Structure 1
């Protein structure tokens, strides 16, 4: 039994041990893996150590080669969990940040890039991973540019997980639109995913060795935006948003079918309304 566990354990580097990366690291350690984790915040170093993570403090694009080499060396899998900041020149800056670490990834290491469904344009219908993406916002364009960058360099060694709106733990949807007036698109379906399912999907990619794939992550159900955010605000005692009437409303429905068929994944939280 011991030999079997040793064989299955992995060495993983997680770039970005924040809201998602830290609980992911803790989960992988519980499975017997050895984890290196990066942060840009010095005060988080002790927390990472306490959880059994080997911590690294650096900022992409501003660090020394040795730091990158130490962080990446010896790991079979690199998880890039570093979203772009909403700043001017976001597309160029985000690409340059990711580019700074890529030369230090070896020819045998696998990569998981935590992407976003913001890369999809509104189609007023269901969207799958086969859609030719045309991002509408700068953040989506930045993420799409990095997807292409990674695919060109690593091809079948990189898997991209496009996550919908993130909820769970301290990310309470009731706060997102509370007190807001004349909010648009009240009658469109929403796309969200709980953090536990984000971790579940990442684990499934690793365990199934599903490399070279693009996979959407989204809850099964898509409640109407007005209903969802009104109930969510009321639940925590905040003033619900008000929505304007619109004849035409833009939306998309993220399909999670591939995550189920390819990975055999069953969502822990399929219905967002049950989380309110």
Structure 2
């Protein structure tokens, strides 16, 4: 890194906080946002400049402008699925996009999800436009951010996020009649999520781009979640055995080639 860069992370949660810590360790000036006042002191202790930002609160415009006085923005908060939060997501992103036009930010990394793809019962790449769920708030946000001429946006479509506080053994342990036992999983471990983001910050792509980000291998749901539960000595889930297949297998070949990246945890069966 030749010059000290300022990086703003909108949403310092499961991914954003350890990423902020990693950037601070590597000499970056980091602005971190949260909607939880209790986290502000934690950020200060970790040398992350704290910002309390709620994109639904129009009274916080000056705070948002200060937060975006940065070179690089990482957007790392998903739509809230409860209490109608999903319907609020796109208006929040529209407000952010408007503020970005008046900011110093030149590069955006938007953390999206492979949930923007429908089940096609086969492989899915970034070029499979027919597989996209175009009404998805995440996909709509991708389009919104990549439509601007004021900055360039890279989209990472992460698979299911595992690691840290998210041990997959707890996800389905003890549940009965879990569907789709033979469907392949599309997952990514926290270590790989952090390293992929860090590589993009170090060497931003000078044009809009979209990448899938999942581990190399795709064991079945039954194989993976049974082993994960047993690793915690929990009751394994019980699966139904007569489902019509509904699945997708996400390809990660594009991101591996573009970033010359080899996954730290390529096999989800070694996540635990």
- Using structure 1 for the length normalisation, give the TM-score: 0.92
Q: 1:262 to 1:213 in 2, by over 3 A?
A: same
Q: CA deviation at 1:103?
A: 2.0
User: Is the aligned partner of 1:110 residue 2:104?
Assistant: no
Q: Structure 2 unaligned runs (5+)?
A: none
Q: Structure 1 unaligned runs (5+)?
A: none
Distance 1:149 1:104 in 2: 13
Distance 2:166 2:247 in 1: 22
Residue 36 of structure 1 aligns to a residue whose secondary structure is: strand
1:19 match: 14
Distance 2:153 2:217 in 1: 28
- Using structure 2 for the length normalisation, give the TM-score: 0.93
User: Is the aligned partner of 1:126 residue 2:120?
Assistant: no
1:85 match: 80
* 1:91-137 alpha-carbon deviations (Å, 9 max, x no partner): 5310011122222213652111000000011111111111114329x
Deviates more, 1:243-252 or 1:253-262: 243-252
Distance 1:32 1:107 in 2: 20
Q: 1:156 to 1:258 in 2, by over 3 A?
A: farther
Distance 1:247 1:86 in 2: 26
* 1:60-116 alpha-carbon deviations (Å, 9 max, x no partner): 12142101111111x110111111000365553100111222222136521110000
1:179 match: 174
Q: CA deviation at 1:208?
A: 2.6
User: Is the aligned partner of 1:225 residue 2:221?
Assistant: yes
* 1:126-160 alpha-carbon deviations (Å, 9 max, x no partner): 11111114329x8xx11111111111224870000
2:50 match: 55
**Equivalent residue for 2:202, pick from 178, 202, 207:** 207
**Equivalent residue for 2:66, pick from 64, 70, 73:** 70
Residue 83 of structure 1 aligns to a residue whose secondary structure is: coil
Q: CA deviation at 1:260?
A: 0.8
Distance 1:99 1:90 in 2: 15
1:260 match: 256
Q: 1:250 to 1:155 in 2, by over 3 A?
A: farther
Q: CA deviation at 1:183?
A: 0.6
Distance 1:247 1:60 in 2: 41
1:145 match: 140
Matched positions, count: 267
Residue 101 of structure 1 aligns to a residue whose secondary structure is: helix
Distance 2:104 2:31 in 1: 19
Distance 2:255 2:54 in 1: 32
